[in-house]
Amino acid sequence: EIVLTESPGTLSLSPGERATLSCRASQSVSSNLLAWYQQKPGQAPRLLIYGASRRATGIPDRFSGSGSGTDFTLTISSLEPEDFAVYYCQQSDSSSWTFGPGTRVEIK
C-alpha cells in the first residue's frame, strides 16, 4: 500500500502570502491518480485538484497542483481568508485509495 506523507503539519501564514504544501508518496504514483482536497471545520471535504494539476470545477486559479513520481505540491498563490483550512492529498493504487494525514493552514 502506498503511504502518503504531507508536510508541514501546520503552516502559519498571513492573508496574501503564498502557501506551498507538499505530499510525498512511499512509491511512485501515476500523476493522474493524485488529488487534493480542502476541508473546513464542520464541513465535508471539497475536491480542489485531480490528476495532480487539473483544477476541479469552480476552483479559483490561485490554487495549483504540480509534481510527479513521489513528490507533489499544492500551491495557493495568495491566501484569501476563506483558504485557511486543512488540505489532504489522496492517491489511488491497485484498488486502494489512501489519504495523507493533512496539512493545516492557519492564520499567523
Binding residues for other proteins, rule: CB under 8 A, are: 32-33, 35, 37, 39, 43-47, 50, 56-57, 88, 90, 92, 95-102
CA atoms of 40 and 76, how far apart (whole Å) = 16
* Smallest distance from other proteins to CB 78, Å: 25
* Smallest distance from other proteins to CB 14, Å: 25
CA atoms of 15 and 79, how far apart (whole Å) = 5
Contacts for 39 with CB less than 8 Å, ≥ 6 apart: 45, 46, 85, 86, 87, 88, 102
Q: Please, which residue, 32 or 78, has the CB nearer to other proteins?
A: 32
* Smallest distance from other proteins to CB 92, Å: 4
Q: Could you tell me the three cell numbers for 52? A: 495532480
Q: Please, which residue, 37 or 84, has the CB nearer to other proteins?
A: 37
